[in-house]
Amino acid sequence: MTKEPFTLIGTAFHTPERCRLEVLQDHLFSVDAQGRIAEILAPGRPEYEARANAARQAGTLVLLADGQFLLPGLVDLHIHAPQWPQMGKALDVPLEVWLQKYTFPLEARYADVDYAREVYADLVDNLLANGTTTALYFATVHVDASLALAETCLAKGQRALVGKVAMDDPEQCPPFYRDADATSAVADTRRFIEAVKVLDPQERPLVQPAITPRFIPSCTDAALQGLGELATEFGCHVQTHCSESDWAKQFVEARFGQTDAASLGGFGLLTRHTILAHSNFINEPDMDLIKEKGAGVAHCPLSNVYFANAAFPLRAALDRQMHVGLGTDISGGYSPSLFDGCRHALSTSRTLQSGVHAGLPPEQRGAPGEPITHQEAFWLATAGGAEALDLPTGSFRVGHEFDALLIDTKAKASNIHINAADDTLEDVFQKIVLNAARANIAMVWVRGRMVVG
Amino acid sequence: MTKEPFTLIGTAFHTPERCRLEVLQDHLFSVDAQGRIAEILAPGRPEYEARANAARQAGTLVLLADGQFLLPGLVDLHIHAPQWPQMGKALDVPLEVWLQKYTFPLEARYADVDYAREVYADLVDNLLANGTTTALYFATVHVDASLALAETCLAKGQRALVGKVAMDDPEQCPPFYRDADATSAVADTRRFIEAVKVLDPQERPLVQPAITPRFIPSCTDAALQGLGELATEFGCHVQTHCSESDWAKQFVEARFGQTDAASLGGFGLLTRHTILAHSNFINEPDMDLIKEKGAGVAHCPLSNVYFANAAFPLRAALDRQMHVGLGTDISGGYSPSLFDGCRHALSTSRTLQSGVHAGLPPEQRGAPGEPITHQEAFWLATAGGAEALDLPTGSFRVGHEFDALLIDTKAKASNIHINAADDTLEDVFQKIVLNAARANIAMVWVRGRMVVG
């Protein structure tokens, strides 16, 4: 799929490394017919004017206006696509009620592919409008509905990894919503992987399959074993929940006599292309193992407030150079926005460091480790997530694919207020990270294709 | 000031009591020329059709469309008006740098009344657009600029309480930004109070003065004493910071040998019309004292993440029936939205209960007490705040003034997604509380005057 090349001139912010904000003031970006960044030029470079003039004459020049800025697209490492209709609902009930009364019955409805197509079209439109250019999706147990999600992403131009969920243990999964048995869970996953590869046969596919055991407690040993073999056979991505809560951590340790991460490793499910959602209760050996395997964590600070019992030890993971990115975890998280995700990651990290209980002496209140910065939060939502997924996006670099947002700080309903006389560009970036909303996202590109705007 | 009466028909949500959401489905609201709610009628009541027809013929009927809902206006109990230009900025530096390099120099600029007028016009427009119909403002030490804020609120129709800040202790306040001495701090506060009363001489003023010692550490004993006497003389509102951080708590205890709340009480500054910002470190006797005096707390969950060292014991305060509402605490808090405030209050309350440090056993992780619900969070942002201020607003009741928001869930850039077939009205309310953004606020009324839309 080729598109017309274009050239964009404006000021971009990105975090090519975790602790480094880079401001590309008035730079020129050339995007080629494959949607790749072919050239990035600073003002004053000899080719700058020539490129700008050529694009202007060809009618392919995009000029950012005053108050507009370019950011890399956002990468959502954990989202339950079928839960989109209940986003912002049922967060006032205990986990068991949330699962049995709301979530499982809702997910079961995706046996109806028409329902799936309708919801998934709305979901992908809305996520793109919120700036999510890449999403790692849990779908449902249904192969056809999961394929409908992959097709929808491809049609609408969202970079995506989609997983048919595997959950076959009758002790933990409801009779109306599970794989019939381990054999069919594995066979259906294979069928799904093969179908997605047919759907998007490009050398660099936009949409890829992900092997998706819901989490260890919902899968039999045989299913986990079979899915691990598929991971080896296809080398594709793997996603699952890991050590999210006290209950989940204890359940796996009681069943296998070892941690969640170690158990996944034993089944061949911990690879360079694995994303572990949550991981709040991983210990130091788990971190070493995850780092050694090259796997990553989808940190979901908002949903953790509702369904975990503690915060992810983010600083410890970053200090180990583990791959980490952010997940909205819709609908355990109520917000579809990864800008909200950045802000929740900041709050959680600061709260973990300071503690919360005023009745304790300061030294007993929090946990060791420096809180993250807003630059690090933004890195998690962009380059960090992209690196975890091993995808060539998340920052502006020649050869990377052009996944980007045009932020309009002067949009109607904007809560970003810039004072040109007083604010540095670094201040502008902080104001964007802390107050950007959907209303500020004027345009969105994925692989050079304009998908919003 | 009278306006044309009007009638509104639509579905309203409000929380007239803390734990009770009331859904007024398709109700009719009559607003009189004084901006008061004259009548609320359920469908089927005999007068309903007659009132609707009369208003339709008079051209004064407002009919909510599908997907639109009415909410009470939001009450912000703590906001530093002069810090508006640095909202979302400088939150990556330590408190001392934030104060000395950014905040005090910025506040000092309001010696220039023209600057004040320009910033305050922008501030009030933006807060109204975010649904804040009532605000309790810290201004600056400058009488004229503080009066400019009061004038701006009156002109734009925002219900407001405005305080000229008193801060006279040369040991704690910078030489370029403080009252000259205790005498002038008190005299200027008196002059400010009298001027605001002249500005808005209505029997039920829209804009009122508030006595505003910044916090005990920035005031001399003489200033605190004099301000307490003014509070008795005028019976007007009082606001200050109370026990925000470990440092603030310890400073006051070292200076007076008693807590912040008790010290304020001793100076006559703890009254039925006092609002204490933060109060994270108040103890049980403090709570009893605050309850006994009828004072209230402005809970500021977002800024606490940045500048406090623990969470406010909200559940304990509510269990005592203390007055509590929410504050954005701009610019210690980066968001101007009290919908964000509701969400941060929910997160903080849940986090306080669960704790954050996964390395601790569950029973040592958090603090006792149930987390708040989304209904309680909304109550804090509306009726709770209004009750704390002793103002006749915050819920829909005959005799209350009509401060309200029209929420359009179908607005462009909306992240509220309602499925009519599956969502109850209670679900809709939860979805609004959890995802409402400025883009959803289509109209805003204060005392019956349309101020946005």
The per-residue pLDDT for range B331-346, each reduced to its tens digit, is: 999 999 999 999 999 9
Contact A313 B358 (CB under 8 A): yes
Do B407 and B367 touch, CB atoms closer than 8 A? no
Please name the member of B305, B308, B431 whose beta carbon is closest to the beta carbon of A88.
B431
Please name the member of B347, B362, B413 whose beta carbon is closest to the beta carbon of A438.
B413
What is the interface size between A and B, counted as CB pairs within 8 Å?
A: 179
| Residue range B78-92: mean pLDDT, rounded | 97
- In B, which residues are within 8 Å of A422 by CB distance? 85
- In B, which residues are within 8 Å of A356 by CB distance? 310-311, 348, 351-352, 355-356, 366-367
Q: Which of A248, A235, A186, A191 is nearest to A212 (CA)?
A: A186
Q: What is the pLDDT of residue A31?
A: 98
Q: CA–CA separation, B327 vs B321, rounded Å?
A: 18
Question: At B1, is the pLDDT very low, low, confident or very high (cuts 50, 70, 90)?
Answer: low
Kindly provide the ipTM of the predicted complex, given to two decimals: 0.98
The kind and range of the H/E element at A301 are helix A301-307
- In B, which residues are within 8 Å of A373 by CB distance? 92
The percent of residues in chain B predicted with pLDDT above 70, rounded, is 100
Question: Can you tell me which residue has the tokens 């046969």?
Answer: A201
Q: What is the pLDDT of residue A279?
A: 98
- How is B343-381 classified by DSSP, letter by letter? HHHHHHHHHHHH-SBTTS-HHHHS-SSPPPPHHHHHHII
Contact B129 A413 (CB under 8 A): yes
| Residue range B75-104: mean pLDDT, rounded | 96
Q: CA–CA separation, A163 vs B91, rounded Å?
A: 39
| Residue range B131-147: mean pLDDT, rounded | 98
Contact A88 B434 (CB under 8 A): yes
Beta strands in B243-327 (DSSP E): 274-278, 296-299, 323-326
Each residue's pLDDT, cut to its tens digit, for chain A (453 residues) gives 567 899 999 999 999 999 899 999 999 999 999 999 999 999 999 999 999 999 999 999 999 999 999 999 999 999 999 999 999 999 999 999 999 999 999 999 999 999 999 999 999 999 999 999 999 999 999 999 999 999 999 999 999 999 999 999 999 999 999 999 999 999 999 999 999 999 999 999 999 999 999 999 999 999 999 999 999 999 999 999 999 999 999 999 999 999 999 999 999 999 999 999 999 999 999 999 999 999 999 999 999 999 999 999 999 999 999 999 999 999 999 999 999 999 999 999 999 999 999 999 999 999 999 999 999 999 999 999 999 999 999 999 999 999 999 999 999 999 999 999 999 999 999 999 999 999 999 999 999 999 999
Q: What is the pLDDT of residue B3?
A: 78
Contact B413 A373 (CB under 8 A): no
Q: What angle do CA B171, B172, B174 make, to 5 degrees?
A: 95
Which tokens hold the place of A398?
Answer: 């020649």
Q: CA–CA separation, A152 vs A146, rounded Å?
A: 10
- Domains within chain A, CATH numbers bracketed: 6-71+395-452 (2.30.40.10), 74-389 (3.20.20.140)
Q: What is the pTM of this model?
A: 0.98
For chain B, the average pLDDT equals 97
Angle, helix B338-354 to helix B425-435, in steps of 10 degrees: 90
Question: Can you tell me which residue has the tokens 């599956």?
Answer: B422
The per-residue pLDDT for range B380-439, each reduced to its tens digit, is: 999 999 999 999 999 999 999 999 999 999 999 999 999 999 999 999 999 999 999 999
- In A, which residues are within 8 Å of B306 by CB distance? 350
DSSP state of A109: G
Q: What is the pLDDT of residue A403?
A: 98
Please name the member of B91, B309, B356 whose beta carbon is closest to the beta carbon of A311.
B356
Q: CA–CA separation, B8 vs B168, rounded Å?
A: 50
